[in-house]
A and B are shown apart, each in its own frame.
Chain A
């Protein structure tokens, strides 16, 4: 049913104006009552996602897996985890999503597999096995010594001795996740085949997990190597030739100057996450100053026209602090991870609302900043209702608890017995499902959920946020983050007050003389812009988005 007749919209730049929504299938909705979320359940909730205004769903890995790393340890690329359903359910879900005009992308881990993958089992079995060379084997640990260790909390080396293979194997992440050897052409071809399978099934794209680490070379840090870019360009070319309108989204937790290489000349990945901007948004908020954001945005190079940044406040991982200075990291830990349990690896494992002390103004302000930046916002399931986290669950499970649909048993997530649930839903008095759930927020016009829906639809009315320029204003008041977005005739002025106190700011808008700012939520018209600095006062943590409207009625004084 996913043939050419059924999903047809040609729009190669769809991702530039889209709002993404990241879903952990296990935690979203349990369709068959076994205590774990699944594709059937997800399909039932499509109406909700369409209502919210989601353009594209991003699914965390759902493949067959021993689940020692949330499914990022794939044991078979062509099967899905039995808890989630069968491949047919995925097809049906994609079809149903497309019928609502919602696209679907999914995680794909190219860099490594689970050690349980049959490829690895074959590879380790004997030096003569045809798949021996599919992984990176060595007799010594003294190769690629300049490569850093990423999961510092659990791993002591990137090499692990395998008794059966009588050799060390290379792994950039957990030791149960051996890296595939992309120098082997069969591996390159096998991964293209995997991609083809899922795109054929209807996926609108893939998020390429851990993409900087595909190749290893001595004397380098084994990240962002030219070979990696060459392979990604090949992937892109092969996809473009057979599957129109698909997107490659790179997860490259790197500095912007390195990340932009993943766009190539518009011929590699269409999207990359902008990792470093995110911790700086939290830093700016806590310090009540816009400088950290201006700085990182100034360091962000231009990207090709057919590409886009992926921006997020929180996701399924820890709030990563790899792309900050040591000093900044210490600051972030002190301010946002007061309980040591909240730290994980180089980051903080908490959800958005608890990070912001459940402050409604802060949550709204952070969304406003996120939505105003050049890029496509990626929301994380549950953050739209200000769900909390559970720091007592291990690893990153604390931010992957069941979605809270109603105030009923199990938060409406599952009909299974409580003991059967993959993880307990939150039940504390502040963030628990009886206080925080979709049903209640749907019924409350002033809820965060309802606010966010209005905000999403408002943003989508203005393609300028997807296509427009970014022109920082850097006003003299350091507590104000203000900038202009411009696309064709649409000019948007976004002004955000990071302070806990009311602030006044004077903006030099003389370039827009004669225009009227029109506040886009309430459509109130503000006084016309003249030669003098434009004065605005903002409530604590308040923000304004103005469309700068040209007024045809009034004759300009030069006339």
Chain B
């Protein structure tokens, strides 16, 4: 019997190279990878099917690097395993272990048993949350459920879901950090944290995976909204209530430096406004004035910038807190116990330190409001359903009503006027970002951010 670790280390680089580059979670396709190295390989099960957790470094021509997590399975070649195969080494088929229920089950067992493992340069720590329901029926069906940009997930018998982070960055992942914070405080509107595993050692300290309760029978907020715009309206208020409660909870602990609300600095608002102002300017430079979809805002750069100036005339106030960071309908689910909020990873394209920054909670609110604008149009494009007159306005109103009811008012700038102004700054920032994105990727959707920007201009005209 060969040593599993040795087989993984002996993985032919060109095969590994080829396989990694094909993966959706591999972030840097465009850049030329100079080298792929297995920096750490920890055997988690020595009996077949063997399991080795590998940390693989991609090195680029310029000397930069990225680190990825690869749980690898090893089965005898004669078994004929054919899912996620990377290479054959010494009579072993080496493959992506997350494609194999038996292997994912081993990770779950490790978390349950808090069974740590040591590598050459550091340790893998498996942890379960005290009192959390880690039980899964023995015959539970284990299935991979899709691969995102940054992670791969596995569901255990509709009871638990394991999210494995592929691209690793130093520091605690906000997904773990926020879930742990909220679970400890018994915040009811999340899928509670059950466990996790992490790596700590010379290479870096990083969160490798989180294990949460799986919301079976829950409905995705985005899909639900698109399926039934009218039916969503009465639920929008409840979503606002839950969002307000989320921010109140996130801003409730003065003792934990990672979460304690902070006073925004003197320049905070000016820096934000200046940044958005420049994004607006640059966007308008690139705008094709002939495009009819852009007609409502074409040539109005100065109006938009003046509007932003007017919005920014508010004093400093409110607090900066840890936020969801990527808040929209697609991050919510409706369950039999009401709305549940998911995915606290933040925007995966941003570096981890940036995702962990404290910000005004209104940035999350703006994200959700923009999501309503998208829902109205998407229902039409994807479901052929015309949004009822002023649906977006009503959804916004209901959501905000619920939100203001439960959010800790000290987290927001003082006074309704200031709150709405700051909210509008964030909405404008978001809409400008959306417009740039849609122009490059989905020209059919350009009308949505255009309408959003036009709306913020009208607000002034009616105000």
Contact = CB atoms under 8 A, between A and B. Distances in A.
A527 B212 CA distance: 59
A101 B273 CA distance: 21
A7 B270 contact: no
29 contacts: A3-B205, A4-B170, A4-B204, A5-B170, A5-B206, A6-B170, A9-B64, A10-B64, A11-B64, A44-B265, A47-B265, A47-B267, A48-B267, A51-B267, A405-B266, A405-B267, A406-B266, A412-B266, A438-B267, A439-B270, A442-B274, A443-B273, A443-B309, A443-B312, A445-B278, A445-B281, A445-B305, A522-B285, A523-B286
A-B pairs, 10 with minimum CB distance:
A5-B205, A442-B270, A8-B170, A99-B353, A10-B65, A12-B63, A51-B271, A11-B64, A5-B170, A5-B204
Interface string B264-286: 01111011011101100100011
Contact of A7 (B64, B170, B200): B170
A405 B266 CA distance: 9
A51 B353 contact: no
Interface residues of B, number: 37
Chain B CB count within 10 A is highest, among A13, A47, A406, A522, for: A47
A557 to B, nearest CB: 29
Interface string A446-463: 000010011000000000
A403 to B, nearest CB: 12
Nearest to A12: B63
Contact of A51 (B65, B202, B274, B356): B274
B299 interface: no
Given A4-B201, A9-B64, A98 B171 contact: no
A409 interface: no
Given A4-B203, A4-B205, A5-B205, A47 B171 contact: no
Nearest to B205: A5
B169 interface: yes
Given A4-B204, A8-B204, A11-B63, A51 B305 contact: no
A267 to B, nearest CB: 16
Chain B CB count within 10 A is highest, among A7, A8, A44, A98, for: A8
Nearest to A412: B266
A217 interface: no
Nearest to B313: A443
Contacts of B312: 443
B63 A10 contact: yes
Given A4-B205, A10-B63, A522-B285, A101 B267 contact: no
A99 B355 CA distance: 10
B62 interface: yes
B443 interface: no
Contacts of B414: none
B351 interface: yes
A341 interface: no
A100 interface: yes
Contacts of B59: 10
A523 B281 CA distance: 12
Given A4-B203, A6-B205, A47-B268, A445 B277 contact: yes
Contacts of A10: 59, 63-65
Contacts of A5: 170-171, 200, 204-206
Interface in A365-394: none
Given A13-B62, A51-B275, A439 B205 contact: no
A7 B309 CA distance: 37
A450 B205 CA distance: 38
Interface in A69-106: 98-101
Nearest to A467: B62
Contact of A47 (B204, B271, B353): B271
A483 B59 CA distance: 33
Nearest to B356: A99
A345 to B, nearest CB: 37
A443 B308 CA distance: 11
Nearest to B270: A442
Given A5-B206, A9-B64, A450 B278 contact: yes
Nearest to B198: A5
Chain A CB count within 10 A is highest, among B62, B171, B309, B351, for: B62
Contacts of B62: 11, 13
Contacts of A44: 265
Nearest to A245: B63
Contact of A454 (B170, B204, B205, B278): B278
A458 to B, nearest CB: 10
Interface string A427-447: 000000000001100110100
Interface in A292-310: none
